[in-house]
Amino acid sequence: MKLVVMTALVGVATLTGAADAQEPIAPLAYDLRIDGTTHNLTRIVGLEVDTEGRILVAQPEDHRYVVFDRRGERLGALGRSGEGPGEFRALTIYRGWRGSAFWQYDPTTRRVSTFELPDRLVGTSRIPTAELSRVEGRPSGINLLLPSIVGVLESGEMLAWSPFQPVRPQRGWAAGLPADEGSVLMLLNGRGAVERVLAAWPPLYAGCMQSVNRRMRPVPHCQSWHWTISPHARHVGFVELMPRGRNAAVRVLSLRPSGDTAYATTLPVALVPITRADADSIRRHRIAGATGEELKRDWQEIRLPTHFATVLSVVAADDGSTWLHLRTGRNEWVWREVTPRGEIGRLVRLPSGVKLDVVTSSHLYGIETDEDGLQSVVRFRR
């Protein structure tokens, strides 16, 4: 097993994935719809699905999850606002499954709360993430900026992610990390100590921040890094961009918790340019939503990429497949499957307004937002 170190992005050039014009796009039909208004759901930011098909709907404004069975019937809710057992100060994306138990990490309290569905608290444990930057009580040479638990294995070991800054000299588990700042994925033992580093890569914002009038601004439509972890932490998917002249490719890497590479697949993609008309439209849209003359001036003067970003998001499934959300035109988007064997799989198109969030062996689950901003949970047969 060796440390996987990704290469850096090149400038702010971005990539786009275009399917072969003759390639069929698999049709999808609704299999289930949980209406947000009928069930009094507030803003939905994420979903989790257990092996029995029960659905957890993340409600950050209420600091809880609403639980539905596979038929869409409401079973109950777990979590609430607070700092006590089973309570959350922040409902984050750091969550998943350990067997049939659901866990949620709260970075504000540094605790992992574990539940049995539909609503029983099993226990809470505090993870000493603030101590991860040390090796046997001494500085590791790496400053971890926001370490968070992102996966829990059946063995009780955990996966932790954090942006980092090198301090030097690097020792212990930090030896061999890149000399520049970036992100790191670590395997922790059951006590919360670092066993080894699995992967390191450049900052997610690499090449996507720009100084405009001495102020740092995010570049619209810039292609950023993407990485994702499957619900039971069985594999981690990375997307690495590989510019090749006028065309490009996307490298999809699947990493097991052991540190072994399951597959590394290259997906050819084509560049879709941002025309002058596109650039004018982008600037007008940003300026219209800006508050303050400084921000409006910055959006007017910011240097845009030459091409639209294409890889918009990534979803990892427990079966080892990785799903990429790709732009195939100025107003066209599809999802591309990379199979558990690393083969380029089928294309699917979801209805407008649906964001894919979970993929199981039999279904695709998403969050649907209508023109009025009302949200629902939807399911499609895979």
* pLDDT tens column, 101-149: 999 999 999 999 999 999 999 999 988 877 787 776 677 788 888 899 9
Give the pLDDT band of residue 10 (cuts 50, 70, 90): very low
| Phi, psi dihedral angles at 279 (to 5 degrees) | -60, -40
- Torsion over CA: 213, 216, 220, 223 (sign): positive
pLDDT for res 33: 97
CA 220 to chain centre: 19
Instruction: Please check whether residues 259 and 328 belong to one and the same domain.
Output: yes
Whether residue 18 sits in one domain with residue 147? no
Are 188 and 209 contained in the same domain? no
> Could you give the strand order of the β-sheet that contains 64-68, starting from the edge strand earlier in sequence?
47-49, 55-59, 64-68, 74-78
Is-contact 368 356, C-beta < 8 A? no
Say if CB 124 and CB 148 are below 8 A apart: no
Number of independent structural domains in the chain? 3
What's CA 170's distance to the chain center, in Å?
A: 29
Stretch (H or E) spanning 250? strand 247-255
Q: Based on C-alpha coordinates, what's the Rg of the chain? A: 21
Averaged pLDDT for residues 254-264: 94
| 255 neighbors 184 (Cβ within 8 angstroms) | no
Judgement on whether residues 73 and 186 belong to the same structural domain of the protein = no
Decide which of 126, 147, 164 is a domain's last residue. 126
Q: Are residues 234 and 363 in the same domain?
A: yes
The answer to whether the beta carbons of residues 159 and 184 sit under 8 Å apart is no
Judgement on whether residues 268 and 144 belong to the same structural domain of the protein = no
Q: CA–CA separation, 236 vs 87, rounded Å?
A: 28
Assigned domain for 91 exists: yes
Q: What is the torsional sign of CA 253, 255, 259, 263? A: negative
- Residue 106 belongs to a domain with what CATH number? 2.40.10.480
Name the domain boundary from 126, 150, 166. 126
pLDDT at position 17, please? 39
pLDDT of residue 9: 33
322-329 and 142-144 beta bridge pairing: unpaired
**Cα–Cα nearest to 105, from 150, 60, 43:** 150
Closest CA to 225 of 240, 243, 242, 209: 240
For residue 233, what are its two tokens? 């932490």
pLDDT over threshold 50, residue 1: no
Is residue 38 in some structural domain? no
Q: Closest Cα to residue 127, out of 144, 106, 98?
A: 106
Residue 365: which domain range?
4-27+204-381
Helix (H) or strand (E) holding 109: none
Give the pLDDT confidence of 209-226 residue by residue, as tens digits. Answer: 899 999 999 999 988 889
- What pTM, to 2 d.p., does this model score? 0.89
Distance in angstroms (rounded) separating the CA atoms of residues 244 and 366: 33
- 352 and 327 part of one domain: yes
Question: Looking at residue 307, what DSSP letter applies?
Answer: B
Residue 39 lies in a domain: no
Examine residue 238 and state whether it is found in any structural domain, yes or no. Answer: yes
Residue 59 backbone dihedrals phi, psi, to 5 degrees: -125, 85
CA 381-335-352 angle, 5° bins = 80
Q: What is the pLDDT of residue 379?
A: 98
User: For residue 330, what pLDDT is reported?
Assistant: 67
Which H or E element spans position 213?
none
Encode pLDDT of 32-49 as tens digits. 999 999 999 999 999 999
